[in-house]
Amino acid sequence: FLKATGVGLFQRKIAKAAKWPNWEFIAKDGAVLFVNHSAIGDLKEEFSIGKEYSWKDGHGNPMTCLAEYTATEDGGVLLTSRTGAIGSYKEERRVSGNLLEFTLTHGTGVSWGRTFERQN
């Protein structure tokens, strides 16, 4: 995925060696605080479902985003669209029971994903 989206060799090696992040979601009154506890520090993102918002990634790249949520029988799906000078992306987080399936799709169609298990 990183190579296909133009990320250089050095940055790919750093990403490969980095510890997997821990994610924390806090929902209240239609708003969400998402904290990504990552190798480069805590990245915080606050947004309201269904409303466009501005956000900067861990490298300071500004993005225009829209998050939409759909409830399912055993969880739900959070779909976040991001557009900026570095490209367009869609992030899908699908929760089913104690599992979260994450898929990141670049505007070119190339995608990457991972499954996380809830830790108490």
What per-residue confidence (pLDDT) applies to 10? 60
pLDDT at 14 (0 to 100):
60
Quick one: pLDDT at residue 117?
87
Residue ranges of the chain whose pLDDT lies below 70: 1-5, 7, 10, 12, 14-20
Give the pLDDT of residue 4: 67
Residue-level pLDDT at 25: 86
Query: Minimal CA–CA distance to 68: which of 55, 81, 56?
Result: 81
Task: Please report the pLDDT score of residue 17 as a whole number.
Answer: 60
Q: What integer pLDDT is reported at residue 3 of this predicted model?
A: 66
pTM: 0.79
